[in-house]
Amino acid sequence: MPKSLTITASSIDPGLLSLPWATPLADWPSSAIVYLPKGLSRHLVRFANLSGRVVAIKETTAEMARREYDMLGNLTRLAVPCVDRFAVIGGRTDASGEPLPAALVTAHLRFSLPYRALFTQVLRPHTATRLVDALALLLVRLHNVGFFWGDVSLSNTLFRRDAGSFAAYLVDAETGELHEGGLTEGQRMHDLDVARTNIAGEIMDLEAGGRLEGGIDAVAIADGIMSSYHALWAALTDQETFAANESWRITERVQRLNELGFDIGEMSIETTNDGTKVSIQPKVVDAGHHQRRLLRLTGLDVEENQARRLLNDLDEFRARISRLGDDEEMVAHEWLTRVFEPVVKAIPFDLRSKLEPAEVFHQVLEHRWYMSQERGKAAPLAEVLTSYVENVLRFRRDEATVMGPPTETVSMPIISDDAPLEQDDEADSIDWRDLV
């Protein structure tokens, strides 16, 4: 270990000292490396095992490593989806005393994958659209807190499954800038234009490699981020004017944002001099409406769409057992212990790293809906679970611990669900009486 080694971290893991920092990252021994799929990067990035968990290590300059470390800390405090910072390693030298690049260490995001690992042999239009929509939502959330990314792309993003959709997380923040006063329209449009250009290039690259389903228009897919972004941004920020006797439209605007997964922390309301018109405009908007409600009621910390789906089932459970007047938290506890937990615990231990518990629950609900549709009547939960485990879950790869071949460029056939089970929100949910 170099004598001049410096470690900057909010909490020091002693295991950091045992990693081979005196060796260039490209030459680290296989015993120190964990082989996971990763996106494209301008810097060398490798994964390592640290005290039983996986971390990503990126070689860069000392200044850039510290800047990105600070930026990730700021984004985490702003509750923006991003990887967790872990440490900055400086003062590295090799065995002959020659300086080595600094290293930024971040925690590997469990159950997440780069976009290239989210499809099998070819990228299908539906999967591509869902990835772009997830990136658009992430970009809106970043711009909402005043973050200018500067290098928006699928490659700089990790994706986690989210009840039939994807949740996007920022991975690379080295080009980012945080503006307390918010972003100008020019800055936002620059980020959006960079996103469109990079996405088109990434999809064209897949096409050149024969990994794009025939008929997909890469530019059309990339253009999708423009419409998705503009629709979300307008819903969050547009001013709305209506007659003074239509005050119910204030509640309607709040509910519309809640449905999109946002809460209004502050709203500007102005009336005309004669009192005939009212204008409203959200000023402070926070993402995670359904996540916060589910966390408050059950303690489950999941993605937004997963939370929305679980809350729908919770609300249906509450109506089904005729306890609409009961305390919401008491009903939520009963749903958790009689519905959610039994389903999760029924998954064989050796298959529990396939998907997150909330995603498993969502897929079991969908599997039950399809089985019930085929039979024309409700399918018993025991049969649903057996069918799901043996016919669906068992054939998935582990998304918590995806292992690739010992090469720098990971290319691997992956069993995935490009055409996942889908249903509308009116599908049957699990009846707690089946679980007792």
Taking only the tens place, the pLDDT of each residue in 70-104 is: 999 999 999 999 999 999 999 999 989 899 999 99
8 Å CB contact between 424 and 312: no
Q: Is 87 helix (H, G, I), strand (E, B) or coil?
A: strand
How much is the pLDDT for 436? 28
What is 113-237's CATH number? 1.10.510
What is the pLDDT, as a whole number, of residue 377?
A: 87
At 400, is the secondary structure helix, strand, or coil? coil
CATH of 6-108, one of 3.30.200, 3.10.20, 1.10.1060, 3.30.160: 3.30.200
Predicted local confidence at residue 59, as pLDDT? 95
Residues 6+ apart with CB under 8 A from 20: 28, 29, 32
pLDDT under 70: residue ranges of the chain: 1-3, 37-41, 120-121, 322-325, 397-436
pLDDT value at residue 284: 82
pLDDT of residue 431: 36
pLDDT of residue 322: 61
State the chain's mean pLDDT as an integer: 85
Ordered strands of the 45-50 beta sheet: 6-8, 85-90, 102-107, 53-60, 45-50, 33-34
What is the Cα–Cα distance from 352 to 162, expressed in whole angstroms?
17
Determine the number of helices (DSSP H) and then strands (DSSP E) in the chain: 11, 14
pLDDT of residue 417: 40
Annotated domain spans of the chain: 6-108, 113-237, 240-287, 304-434
